[in-house]
Structure 1
């Protein structure tokens, strides 16, 4: 069994490809466009990526080049499955297949690519990794009221120090961010106790185990259409992962602002310094 991220904007083709690969025993995550495919790769840590070329937002070749340029994903096997082969595709993809073709052949080529010795993605862990989720589940107990107050004061001080409109500490589940403490978040998110990971960059941050800093999310092809931008109006964003004693990413500490260019490298330094202190308070829930 392998984890496969595929991107195909034709719904019928996407359904057939998903069904065929799933019947072959693989776990398939299907994206409808290039930016979503990049997000899924960061979250799911796939063993193979399959990309159409002519998709909205970013072409398949654009996505592949971005993955090859990142040390964390440069070694992931990639297949292009497209009616058109753009110039340069064969230099980026491990295999280029032309539509239309029997999907059984796609399965055979996928098997061959998965059998290669190309190194796999090793930075971070998939959001669905059992060990990571077990570490998160141990932090879901009721907090001590004194610790809860301390966390609230800490996050308020962080928001003030960074001049952020909102700041949050949240547990990263497999599909959602569960808020532990926050200031300045929209009422809808506060009342719900969190938000789907698709609404925020937190899933990618947790999957890659890397800090994130955006001068303006509107200019980013992956995140410009997420609700945090379109609904909440967030433009500037900075966040760092928070780790369990075992070194697993279990939570995120982040700040947000509606103006572009609000945060810089100093903001990340402040968040990095605060994260272990906050994690000690959260870890008492074990």
Structure 2
């Protein structure tokens, strides 16, 4: 079992992610914005972070950059979720420091596969 911080400002998507990852046996800390992600990561030191790119306030890209700048969180695996699917968007997401990038809409099965792969590293 892993502790995973999930951040998406869309409650339906956040609930879907939480449901899928919980059925895989993981403990989920669900939040709705980038600032809450940083707080949760610093307080709970998760095994993985799943972030929406477009959130109010601090974007997922900015959040990843701050995670990578924090020595205590530097090695935290991050999976970005986004409706932006162009090659340049994926490159920007990975260039921000994310370990993986999954486009919306996504299959819950693919989400689970990507999460398990990141946790296995």
TM-score when scaled to structure 1?
Answer: 0.40
Name stretches of at least 5 consecutive residues in structure 1 with no aligned partner. Answer: 117-286
In structure 1, C-alpha distance between the alignment counterparts of 2:61 and 2:19, rounded to whole Å: 24
In structure 2, C-alpha distance between the alignment counterparts of 1:2 and 1:26, rounded to whole Å: 5
In structure 2, C-alpha distance between the alignment counterparts of 1:38 and 1:70, rounded to whole Å: 10
Counting matched residue pairs gives 116
In structure 2, C-alpha distance between the alignment counterparts of 1:33 and 1:86, rounded to whole Å: 20
Q: Which residue of 2 aligns with 1:35?
A: 35
Name stretches of at least 5 consecutive residues in structure 2 with no aligned partner. Answer: none
Deviating above 3 A after TM superposition, structure 1's stretches of 4 or more consecutive aligned residues are none
| Cα pair 2:90 2:101 within 8 Å, conserved | no
In structure 1, C-alpha distance between the alignment counterparts of 2:94 and 2:29, rounded to whole Å: 24
Query: Map of 1:217-232 to 2, 5 A cutoff?
Result: none
Distance 1:95 1:86, change over 3 A: closer
The Cα offsets for residues 204-247 of structure 1, whole Å up to 9 and x where unpaired, read as xxxxxxxxxxxxxxxxxxxxxxxxxxxxxxxxxxxxxxxxxxxx
Q: Which residue of 1 aligns with 2:46?
A: 46
Query: Map of 1:56-205 to 2, 5 A cutoff?
Result: 56-84=56-84, 85=89, 88-91=92-95, 92-116=97-121
**Aligned-residue offset at 1:24:** 0.4
Equivalent position SS for 2:28: strand
In structure 1, C-alpha distance between the alignment counterparts of 2:10 and 2:94, rounded to whole Å: 23
In structure 1, C-alpha distance between the alignment counterparts of 2:3 and 2:117, rounded to whole Å: 15
Superposition RMSD in Å: 1.1
**Aligned-residue offset at 1:88:** 2.4
Greater share of helix? 2
Equivalent position SS for 1:88: helix
The Cα offsets for residues 66-87 of structure 1, whole Å up to 9 and x where unpaired, read as 0001111010111001112365
The Cα offsets for residues 234-266 of structure 1, whole Å up to 9 and x where unpaired, read as xxxxxxxxxxxxxxxxxxxxxxxxxxxxxxxxx
